[in-house]
Amino acid sequence: MTGARRGAGGGAGAPARAPLGGAARSCAAVGALEGRGGTPAGPSPGLGVRPPAASVPGRLELVVPAGGAGVRLDRFLAGVAEVGTRSQAKRLIDAGRVRVDGVARKSAHLLGVGARLEVELPEPEPLAAEPEPLPLAVLYEDADLLAVDKPPGMVVHPAPGARRGTVVNALAHRLGTLAGVGRPDRPGIVHRLDRDTSGVLLVARTAPALEALARQFRARTVQKVYLAVVLGHLGPVSGTIDRAVGRHPRERKRMSVHSRRGRAALTRWTALERFPGATLMRLEPETGRTHQLRVHLAAVGHPIVGDRVYGPRHAGGLAFPRQALHAAEIRFDHPSSGARMVVRAPLPPDLEQLLAGLRQAGSSTAKSSRSA
């Protein structure tokens, strides 16, 4: 597809361009495996082992192996490829579509060796998004997942007011096989980026991969790095913002650190480069609250340049058409191999231009100071 870029696992690639003005720093190829093998991120080995599927369409007959003894029913089913996720397993159980030795059981039921399971599978729901031949830059792709470079201004999945032109519409055209991988309105989507935030977005291609990646996000073992241009200068070189984030007490479409029911949120930051009136920052969120980075930076008095929701109405000479926020890097365990992976997205042209203008302004200011 137009603009597609792929990284091959383990291969050497061109070094990424450094976000600072100096020489580029060497880095792994986009999508390269780091070589840290480990336990696969998917369900425990042996839990999903079963005889060949029954010949009746839409129906599974499973026998619990030794490795499944004492395992919860919902967890066992999540390891079955035709089910794929814990949430889907619970839906089937709650709907009475699962029987253990002929008896309907609860999700927490502990299985015994040799127990026979009967599962009635529903018909896959049709995708809610229509396929659209949209350009989609692919950073990494294999049988389990894709990592795409989401451009600014593109919504991740269909929603009121944005039914077309989304990442999911583009994926439906490119893959056409995501039915049954998560919710029909957002198939394969593991996490989200705001409309005006650019950068790396992971997409699962199978139900087991979706569950494995979602589990890593819940366990906070996925590491994300963002780059942002913020207003002003933070005092030290690095620091931490540890303030709960929740729904704004009065404006329901906004998030706030003053929420009555805020949830713990932590962001680590490093100042990479300072300009007149602005700073390029590296941000590492340890939690994934809605609008966390934007809310945290605004709360400490340094909102992201161009943020029309959490920033000031007038940002002086720093006009920018969107929030200057970019998801630059993500690290996670591959859902099948368990190998640690890193995928990086280069800065988009608009942020490159913003930084070039700020550097030029800084150079001009320095020359004026020396000549004064």
* Entry field: residues in the chain: 372
The CA distance from 43 to 61, in Å, is 19
Please provide residue 120's backbone torsions phi and psi, each rounded to the nearest 5 degrees. Answer: -100, 115
The dihedral formed by the CA atoms of 262, 265, 271 and 277, expressed in degrees to the nearest 10: -10
14 Cβ contact partners less than 8 Å away, ≥ 6 residues apart: 29
Fill in the DSSP letter of residue 288.
-
CA nearest to 175, candidates 147, 155, 205:
205
Give the span between the Cα atoms of 310 and 70, in whole angstroms.
49
Q: Which of 142, 144, 194, 350 is catalytic?
A: 194
94 is catalytic: no
Q: How many other C-beta atoms are found inside a 10 Å radius of the C-beta of residue 225? A: 20
Question: SS3 for 369?
Answer: helix
Instruction: Tell me the C-alpha distance between 358 and 52, whole Å.
Output: 62
Contact 226, 293 (CB under 8 A): yes
Structure tokens of 42?
Answer: 């998917």
Question: Residue 78 to residues 5, 327, 338: CA-CA distances in angstroms?
Answer: 33, 30, 18
> Parallel, antiparallel, or unpaired for β 98-100 and 116-120?
antiparallel
Annotated catalytic residues are 194
